[in-house]
Structure formats: C-alpha cells, structure tokens
Amino acid sequence: MAKLLAPAGTVEMAVGAIDQGADAVYVGPLGWSRRPYESELSDDEIRAVIDHGASADKEVWVAMNACPSTFEVEHFLRKVRRYAAWGARGFVVTEPGAIVHMRRLVPDAAIHVSIGSGITNRYDAGFYRALGADGIIVPYRWGSAELVAAQQTSDIALEVFLFETVQTGMICPGKCIMSSYLKFRDWLAVERREAFHGSANRGSKECYRVCQTPWAFEAPDAAAIDIRLRRDARLMLEQIPQCIAHGVRYFKLSGRERPAPLISDLVRFYRKVIDGVLQHGQCDMTVYLDEMTVLRRRWVNEKRKRVDTLMSRAREAADGAVCPG
C-alpha cells in the first residue's frame, strides 16, 4: 500500500499535513538534518509533532541525515534514542555506519536511506538492505527500469520524490559542500545545551543554491558558455499510477522551507490522486491537470522566492568574507 510522506518544517506544517491526509510527516532536529535552522525543529517541537501524530494514528519520522563526526556519534545516538522513546516511527539517515548502529539501538523503528547517500543503482539498494535499512529514497531521475531492477535485487521499500525528470544526469543532494565556503553557523549559539559545531552538509552551513547561479565557462579561443549546473524537477503527476504499479511504497513530498498552507494543499491534492488510483483505479491523470497547473505555478513561485533569499544571503556572506593575506 503506497503511503504519502509530507514535510514538517514547522509544527503548523506538520499538523496541517497530518490533518489533510498525510500518512506520515518528517521533521528535522536543529543542526542534524541538512536544512537551514528555520526549517528545523527544537526537541520540544518534535515531541509536540510526535504527540499529534500519535493522536491521529499517523507516523512521524525524524531526518537525522547529517553526517556526524567521530566525536559526535554518541550525541547522535542519544538523539535517536530520545526520539524513539517519544514515539518516532522512523528515521532518515545518510551514513552507512550510523544505520548499522541504529538498527541495533532501535530495532522496531523504520530506517530509510536519505537521498544524500548518493544511491545510483540497484546494487546500492541491496547494500543498504544488508546493512539493515528498510527503505531507500530513489534518485529523481530513476525510471521504471531502475525501479524494477531494484526490487529484483532486494525487498527494500522504494520511496520516490513527487518530482518528475526535466533534466538528465545524476545528482547527489546532500554531498555538496560549495556553500560551506561562504559561511559557517556555530550551533553552540543556537542550541546552547548541545556541544557541537556542525559539518559541511549540515544546517550550520545553509545551501545557498550555488548550483543554480548562472555560471560562465570559458576556453581559450572559444566563446563563453552560460549554463546552470542544476535545474530542479517539477511536481509529479503523470508517473504516479506507474510508480504504484511498480510497487513504490512511499511518495515523498519535500518542501520543509515552503509555506505551510501550500504544503497542506499539496497533501490534500496528492491524497486524492493516490487514493483514486488505489481505491478506484483512476489512472487517467488528465482529470487533475487544471488543479496541478495551479499548484505547479504556486510551487515555482515559492521556489523562486526561496532561491532569491538564499542567493541574497550568499552575496552577503561573500561580501563579508575576509581572505587571509
């Protein structure tokens, strides 16, 4: 049975997503989930979300997909134990070593492999299953052949982003450290009780969308080429029936940094689409095109605002940087 997994960048977003029909929501603890601090939650907020999820019989997952250093592993595992004791049903993790320890520590919790792990083929899926992971979030650009191949390799659950391909090539979100050259946020000043500083793929260093900045590439005796290193995919619709037919178990909507009302509207829409396929065999997605067009426009507008904000922060950080001389 396919489930709908929604983001929870705020308590308001979590409550709205659950109330609009999400089967599960995922939260990120301050400094541990590869997002700017305004899209992460304090432990008190995470406990409130877990309690609300329990009251509605819905799952709450915790994204612990930053990369802990050698000196942070014990603190990382303490966090995991705390959230599991509160009732968190699953975790999103990047590091293979962390998955092994967590499997022993919280044997009843679901463990899903983050997109930041850089899974590229079916053998990676089998590798993570052998480590003890229950599911993987597959790359944006996988198609039907890759989904089928992964299922033939192991019984690991497949989770897909609700995005469709608009550009070929492989990307590994979560492994880029370009933004860390611009600014470092000391988490000691944010969460005073926790003694850690952050790492290059963590919220302590925001993603400033460096890959979406126009780049000019030049070669001797050749005209400069203006390109973008990455283009984001757009919201998925047409592929949903096929994904369900191929046994996809989770549809993940990202967007912890988006406005809560937009996430609620998207959850309501995708709940209707998924239930239509599962319960009524409604596989003709053209009936949803008008509504999808409006939602895609809203998504792109909010995305543009967010990118503009982050790039503005990047310019400010670059202007304030002092080069050693």
pLDDT tens digit sequence for 205-214: 466 666 666 7
Q: Is the pLDDT of residue 99 over 50?
A: yes
pLDDT classification of 260: cutoffs 50, 70, 90: very high
User: CA 235, 228, 233: angle at the middle one, nearest 5?
Assistant: 10
What local confidence, expressed as pLDDT, does residue 119 receive?
86
C-alpha 215/C-alpha 209 separation (Å) is 12
- Range in 22-26, 59-63, 73-77, 280-284 with the lowest mean pLDDT: 73-77
End-to-end CA distance of the chain: 60
pLDDT classification of 221: cutoffs 50, 70, 90: confident
**248 Cβ partners below 8 Å, 6+ apart?**
2, 147, 158, 159, 160
pLDDT classification of 53: cutoffs 50, 70, 90: very high
Q: Is the pLDDT of residue 67 over 50?
A: yes
Q: Which domains does the chain have, with CATH numbers?
A: 3-320 (3.20.20.70)
Find the mean pLDDT for residues 69-81: 88
Q: Exposed/middle/buried for 220, CB within 10 Å: 0-12, 13-18, 19+?
A: exposed
**Nearest one of 284, 288, 247 to 268, comparing CA atoms:** 288
Q: Is the pLDDT of residue 237 over 90?
A: yes
What local confidence, expressed as pLDDT, does residue 201 receive?
54
Please tell me whether the overall predicted TM-score, pTM, comes out greater than 0.75 for this model. yes
Higher-pLDDT residue of 321, 220:
220
C-alpha 212/C-alpha 307 separation (Å) is 8
Residue 172: how many CB atoms within 10 A of its CB?
13
Tokens 């709940």 identify what position? 271
Name the 3-class secondary structure at 311: helix
C-alpha 17/C-alpha 20 separation (Å) is 5
pLDDT tens digit sequence for 135-191: 999 887 788 899 999 999 999 999 999 987 655 455 555 566 666 666 655 555 555
pLDDT tens digit sequence for 104-125: 999 999 999 998 888 888 999 9
Q: What is the mean pLDDT of the chain?
A: 85
Residue type, 201: N
Find the mean pLDDT for residues 266-279: 98
What local confidence, expressed as pLDDT, does residue 243 receive?
94
pLDDT classification of 204: cutoffs 50, 70, 90: very low
Q: Is the pLDDT of residue 325 over 70?
A: no
What local confidence, expressed as pLDDT, does residue 26 receive?
98
Cα separations (Å) of 123 from 81, 149, 278? 30, 9, 29
Show the tokens assigned to 146. 């890759």
